[in-house]
Amino acid sequence: MIIFGTKGYLYRLAILTLVCGRCGNPSAHTLSKRVTKFTLFFVPLFPLSTKYTTQCTFCGTEQKVTGEQAEQLRAQAAAGSGGQAYGQPRQQPYQS
Ligand SMILES: [Zn+2]
């Protein structure tokens, strides 16, 4: 007898401040990666599907993003929190 099934894994990749498409609030969004793995005798073997989503922490809306978008968002988050951004710092006060 062969026992097989699937198992879901959730990875939290980053937390980003985005303007929500639903509630319109510039709130924290969690960037998550959801992997569904094929299991045989309860041992996960290989991933069946990988999905990326962002979830608004304000209203809870989940939005699907592509792997490419997820990478960009993750890079953005890393640059924003790392303190060593490339180029000019954003929102520099204007001095006349
Ligand atoms: Zn929202």
Q: What is the pLDDT of residues 55-88, one digit of tens each?
A: 999 999 999 999 999 999 999 888 875 544 444 4
Q: What is the pLDDT of residues 7-33, one digit of tens each?
A: 999 999 999 999 998 999 999 999 999
Distance CA 67, CA 71 (A): 6
Phi, psi of 10 (to 5 degrees): -125, 125
Q: What is the pLDDT of residues 34-54, one digit of tens each?
A: 999 999 999 999 999 999 999
pLDDT at 95: 60
pTM of the model: 0.70
CA of 63 to the centre of ligand 1 (A): 10
CA of 33 to the centre of ligand 1 (A): 19
The string of DSSP letters for 46-91 reads: EEEEEEEEEEETTT--EEEE-HHHHHHHHHHHHHHHHS--SSSPSS
